[in-house]
Amino acid sequence: MTFVRLCNIALMILLVLSLGLHLVLRRTAGQPNPDLFPDMVHTARYNAFAPNPYFASGATLQVPDPRTSPHNGAPLGYGPGAQEAARAARDLRNPLSAQEPASLERGKIVFSNFCQPCHGSAGRGDGPVVARGFPAPPSLAAEHAQALPDGHLFHIVTHGQGNMAGYAAQLSQADRWKAILFVRSLQRQGNAAALGGSR
Ligand code: HEC
């Protein structure tokens, strides 16, 4: 028997042995690997309402630092529904003014992205979504919408009304007020057109 042949046989035996060993010692797939340095692998976790020895207050859930602000501005403080809409109509004023061209410009962008699909480019309730069968909203240029106070519009854009969903999740409060500035400007343009003025 040549040396090379001996080597081949030895390698074959080693291969079979290692495969056999692998079969015998095989770990189940769901089992995690051993932790060699487990120091930071198993950190303690606390549920939101569980007591917590690490904070002076002894609670896990902490009150946000007063210097931070929620990403969507302060909570509005008005719930959904007609009664709350009436309260918002009474109390809220648009903090932005159409005198600032940037606000109105932004309002136009918000309106064309979020409102125009249903309300139409002039707010007449004839947007492409309506053309495909969505119930038509009343014209924003109509007397009814013109008479609604800014606070009421803000409540509608925030919480929705009837078939219209609220946009609190998609639009910041500032963007909602800017969209309302633009609705007002559409209404003024509608009036000017009705009076035969410039368009
Ligand atoms: C998916 C379609 C849709 C979109 C998008 C939409 N609306 Fe509406 N909107 C409606 C419908 C439908 C109504 C009528 C609701 C009802 O039944 O009272 C309405 C009602 C309104 C009213 C009350 C009008 C009135 O005379 O009572 C205002 C104001 C209004 N929408 C503003 C907006 C603004 C601003 C936006 C964008 C931020 C917007 N809407 C986006 C469908 C939509």
Q: What CATH number has the domain bearing residue 161? A: 1.10.760
| Phi, psi (rounded to 5 degrees) for 21 | -60, -40
Task: Note the pLDDT of residue 191.
Answer: 74
- Other beta carbons within 10 angstroms of residue 116's beta carbon come to 17
Q: Residue 4 falls within a domain, yes or no? A: no
Residue 163 has a pLDDT of 95
Question: Does a structural domain hold residue 18?
Answer: no
Confidence (pLDDT) at 125: 95
Let me know if residue 5 belongs to a domain.
no
**Nearest Cα residue to atom 36 of ligand 1:** 115
177 close to ligand 1 (CB < 6 Angstrom): no
One DSSP character per residue, 48-99 reads TTSB-TTSTTSBSSPPPPTT---TT-S-----SSHHHHHHHHHH---SS-TT
CB atoms within 10 A of CB 176: 25
- The reply to whether 151 falls in a domain is yes
Q: Is residue 139 part of a domain?
A: yes
Q: Is the CB of 42 under 6 A from ligand 1?
A: no
Residue 45 included in any domain: no
Q: Is 73 left (phi over 0), alpha (psi -120 to 50) or beta?
A: left
pLDDT under 70 in the chain at which residues?
68-75, 192-199
Which range marks the domain in which residue 103 is found? Answer: 82-194
pTM of the model: 0.70
104 lines ligand 1 (CB under 6 A): no
102 in a domain, yes or no?
Answer: yes
Does residue 23 belong to any structural domain of this protein? no
Tell whether the torsion through CA atoms of 8, 13, 16 and 21 is positive or negative. negative
Q: Whose CA is nearest to atom 43 of ligand 1?
A: 164
Q: How far is the CA of 68 from the centre of ligand 1 (A)?
A: 33
Nearest to 144 by CA among 167, 166, 161, 131: 161
**Domain total of the chain:** 1
Tell me, using a 6 A CB cutoff, whether residue 179 lines ligand 1. yes
- Measured from the CB, is residue 183 less than 6 Å from ligand 1? yes
Report which ligand 1 atom has the smallest distance to the Cα of 176.
38
